C-alpha cells in the first residue's frame, strides 16, 4: 500500500518537474524526499509521511507555478485520491506550506521541520552550489560583480544573503550534523573563487 502511494506520488511529481531548469527539477524532489525519509527515521518521526511531503514540497511554490492556489487545490485532490487518512493529509499539507525558506515560515510539526531541513540541505554543499548557479543563470543574474548595483544581483551574493546562514537555521540534530561538511565546502569554494578572481590584481 505504502509502495503504491509512493509510486503514484513520483508520477505526479515527474509530470510537473521533468522540464525544470532552475535547480528545482525531479532530481531535487527525489533528493529531498529521500533525505526527509532518512532524517525522519533518525529522529523517530514518520518516514513515510516525511517522504511523501518531501516529494511534494515544491508543488505549490509561487516561483515554480503560475497559479499556486490552483496547484494547491490539485495537490489536495491528488492526496485525497491516495490511500491516506484525513489526518495524514493534514500533516503533509501543513509541512508543505511551511517548507520554503523564502517565505520564512516556521514549521509547526516535526514532519514540517524534517522536510524543511531536507530542502535546506539540498541548497548547500556541492549540489547547493550547482543549484545556485543554475537558478542564477536561469534568472540571467551575473556570477559575481564588484559594481555595487550588479553585486546584489549576483549568485555569489546569494551565498552571503542566504546559503551561508542555512546551517544555523536547521531544526534537527541529524541535519545539523550533515550540514557541517557541506557548509565548510561552500566556504572553501568561496575562498578559492575569490583567490582566482583576485589572481591578476597584484600585477595591475
Ligand atoms: P525555497 O525553494 O525554499 O522557496 P528558494 O527558492 O529561495 O527557496 O531557493 C531554492 C533554491 O534556489 C536554492 O538552491 C537557492 O540557492 C536557489 N536560489 C534562490 N534564489 C537564488 C538567487 N537569487 N540566486 C541563486 N540561487 C538562488
Ligand atoms: Ni525545494
Higher pLDDT, 1 or 183: 183
- Give me the DSSP letters along 183-198: HHHHHHHHHHHHHHHH
For residue 170, what pLDDT is reported? 97
For residue 60, what pLDDT is reported? 83
CA distance 136 to 199: 24
Q: Whose CA is nearest to atom 18 of ligand 1?
A: 132
Q: For residue 125, what are the domain limits?
A: 2-203
Q: Whose CA is nearest to atom 23 of ligand 1?
A: 158
Q: pLDDT, tens digit, for every residue of 65-107?
A: 778 888 889 999 999 999 899 999 999 999 998 886 566 778 8
Residue 160 confidence class, pLDDT cut points 50, 70, 90: very high
User: Counting beta carbons within 10 angstroms of the beta carbon of residue 180, is it exposed (0 to 12), middle (13 to 18) or buried (19 or more)?
Assistant: exposed
| Pair 155, 143: CB distance under 8 Å | yes
Ligand 1 contacts (CB < 6 A) are 23, 61, 63, 100-102, 119, 123, 128, 131-132, 135-136, 141, 155, 158, 163
What total of structural domains would you count in the chain?
Answer: 1
For residue 68, what pLDDT is reported? 82
Higher pLDDT, 154 or 23: 154
Q: pLDDT, tens digit, for every residue of 170-200?
A: 999 999 999 999 999 999 999 999 999 999 8
Q: pLDDT, tens digit, for every residue of 99-152?
A: 865 667 788 899 999 999 999 999 999 999 999 999 999 999 999 998 877 667
Instruction: Point out the ligand nearest to the CA of residue 129.
Output: 1
Q: What is the DSSP-derived secondary structure letter of residue 21?
A: -
Q: Whose CA is nearest to atom 27 of ligand 1?
A: 132
Q: With a threshold of 0.95, does the pTM exceed it?
A: no
Poorest-confidence range of 20-34, 44-58, 95-109, 141-155?
95-109
User: Which CATH number is 11's domain given?
Assistant: 1.10.3210.50
Average pLDDT along the chain: 92
For residue 181, what pLDDT is reported? 98
Amino acid at each position: 500500500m505504502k509502495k503504491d502511494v509512493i509510486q503514484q506520488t513520483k508520477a505526479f511529481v515527474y509530470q510537473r518537474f521533468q522540464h525544470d531548469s532552475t535547480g528545482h527539477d525531479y532530481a531535487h524532489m527525489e533528493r529531498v524526499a529521500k533525505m526527509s525519509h532518512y532524517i525522519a527515521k533518525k529522529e523517530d518521526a514518520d518516514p513515510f509521511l516525511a517522504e511523501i511531503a518531501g516529494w511534494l514540497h515544491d508543488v505549490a511554490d509561487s516561483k515554480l507555478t503560475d497559479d499556486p492556489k490552483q496547484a494547491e487545490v490539485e495537490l489536495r485532490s491528488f492526496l485525497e485520491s491516495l490511500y491516506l487518512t484525513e489526518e495524514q493529509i493534514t500533516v503533509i499539507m501543513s509541512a508543505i506550506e511551511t517548507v520554503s525558506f523564502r517565505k520564512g515560515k516556521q514549521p509547526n510539526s516535526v514532519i514540517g521541520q524534517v522536510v524543511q531541513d531536507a530542502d535546506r540541505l539540498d541548497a548547500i554543499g556541492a549540489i547547493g552550489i550547482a543549484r545556485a548557479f543554475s537558478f542564477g543563470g536561469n534568472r540571467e543574474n551575473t556570477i559575481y560583480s564588484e559594481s555595487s548595483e550588479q553585486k546584489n544581483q549576483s549568485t555569489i551574493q546569494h551565498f552571503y544573503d542566504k546559503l551561508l546562514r542555512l546551517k544555523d537555521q536547521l531544526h534537527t540534530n541529524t541535519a545539523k550534523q550533515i550540514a557541517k561538511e557541506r557548509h565548510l565546502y561552500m566556504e572553501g569554494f568561496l575562498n578559492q573563487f575569490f583567490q582566482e578572481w583576485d589572481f591578476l590584481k597584484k600585477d595591475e
